[in-house]
Structure 1
């Protein structure tokens, strides 16, 4: 077994396995009806019923070099994907949730999707410009991008708060990677975590009660695969942080929004050495 897709339920404090495979699959999102998960693997995108079963490939047209940065629009009708087939660098596209031909959103590259605004109007992403990693937003139909961070260390992993007020992200501006948030309309960033860990991929719960974070040991650089990591839950302002469990994972475990629609559970991928 290489990859195990699991769902953790807050009320029970327990996880159950949805799917196991010897393939490398990554980054689960819940569909808006809560009945399926979307995951990527081998450059493609798949659907998986939450009760288990087989992976079903989603038609992504020419885009066949997807990374693990993908997700659904708030109304569940569109997918955002990040793919390098067309340009050799990651570009963000949208396409119907049922599959089809991707429509380019970002003309400046590379760009890696991470979040969708609650009103469905804008996308948040990490853009690398002249080797500088920053947080940007853009209209879902494309156009000019809006820059929210300005090279204060490496900035990555943005995700919107459910009220649309904040964009949470991880940043190395304080030295070790920690969680910050910035007003979605622009402004000063506010620090959320001050931990001994390397904190990545903050995901606010849909009900606004929690923030889920993946934490590496403090001496781990970047967000590599195949490390012992911990998933931590905290208040939206970083208070009452607690460790839920540890696992072998990292890159691919929960790079993108992974909460169930009602905020009662979240999905993730656990790995075993190849």
Structure 2
């Protein structure tokens, strides 16, 4: 497959191609200055300048089996990654954004990073404990994890809202994968979407105006790659949902926070036959 890294501007509806390659590239994050993206491929992380050019490898030390769950802290100084080299299961680490030696955060494994709190003090992630997928948060210095969901279906893909009050996630507790949200302390679980699709990877915009969701056909339960999917935009409460466009993608398209800092555009990966 061929990977096409692209940026969509919400107001104009225009899409701009940033980079194309026959390498499998996934999960773009915007830098805090908006000048480059961070993506993963073949277990490594890369910077990708928006102005064009080649992928630049980020030094992640021993962590050379990074998956597509990674992202920058709100101040842009730290990078959270998920890697399995050290323990054989996905573990969350933090390292300097420019590269360096990873510092382990989670001890319960596997854990897959998905979001930073707006104040930069906590991480939201999916943890699998005894084959149960649930949503957790943890202090960036480690310690005890806070469990926010409790085995009601499969729970995955958490991302903080712009003010940190809510954490959005996808859950199959209603039978089909849909978008839910929960208060950061684990209270007030609410369902956001009631769609005919399989909804995954909710990403609130930094300005608090939008919620971006990747939607599979309704009969698709997991989040495989190489399927026809659609990107949908709605208000943070799930109202006024509309389809932006469809594409060939899925896993790797928007797994982690992908909005530009100003909330006016977002990055994604489209896949096509090479």
TM-score class, shorter? over 0.9
Residue 273 of structure 1 deviates from its aligned partner by 3.2
Aligned to 1:163: 163
TM-score (norm 1): 0.99
Aligned to 2:116: 116
Residue 221 of structure 1 deviates from its aligned partner by 2.0
Residue 186 of structure 1 deviates from its aligned partner by 1.4
* Equivalent-residue separation in structure 2 for 1:177 and 1:221 (angstroms): 7
Deviations 1:63-120 (A, max 9, x none): 0001000000000000000000000000000000010000000000000000000000
Deviations 1:122-153 (A, max 9, x none): 00000000000000000001000000000000
* Equivalent-residue separation in structure 2 for 1:184 and 1:273 (angstroms): 41
Deviations 1:4-62 (A, max 9, x none): 00000012101010000000000000000000000000000000011221100000000
Q: Does 1:243 align with 2:243?
A: yes
Instruction: Give structure 2 stretches of 5+ with no counterpart.
Output: none
Aligned to 1:91: 91
Residue 172 of structure 1 deviates from its aligned partner by 0.1
Deviations 1:168-204 (A, max 9, x none): 0000000000000000111131000000000000000
Aligned to 1:19: 19
* Equivalent-residue separation in structure 1 for 2:65 and 2:245 (angstroms): 32
Q: CA RMSD in A?
A: 0.7
Q: Does 1:106 align with 2:106?
A: yes
Aligned to 1:10: 10
Aligned to 1:132: 132
Q: Number of residue pairs matched?
A: 274
* Equivalent-residue separation in structure 2 for 1:273 and 1:237 (angstroms): 36
Secondary structure, in 3 states, of the residue corresponding to 1:125? strand
Secondary structure, in 3 states, of the residue corresponding to 1:269? strand
Aligned to 2:31: 31
* Equivalent-residue separation in structure 1 for 2:4 and 2:47 (angstroms): 15
Aligned to 2:215: 215
* Structure 1 residue ranges, 4+ long, deviating more than 2 angstroms after superposition: none
Q: Does 1:66 align with 2:93?
A: no
- 8 Å CA contact 1:134–1:155 kept in 2: the answer is yes
* Equivalent-residue separation in structure 1 for 2:248 and 2:75 (angstroms): 33
Aligned to 1:257: 257
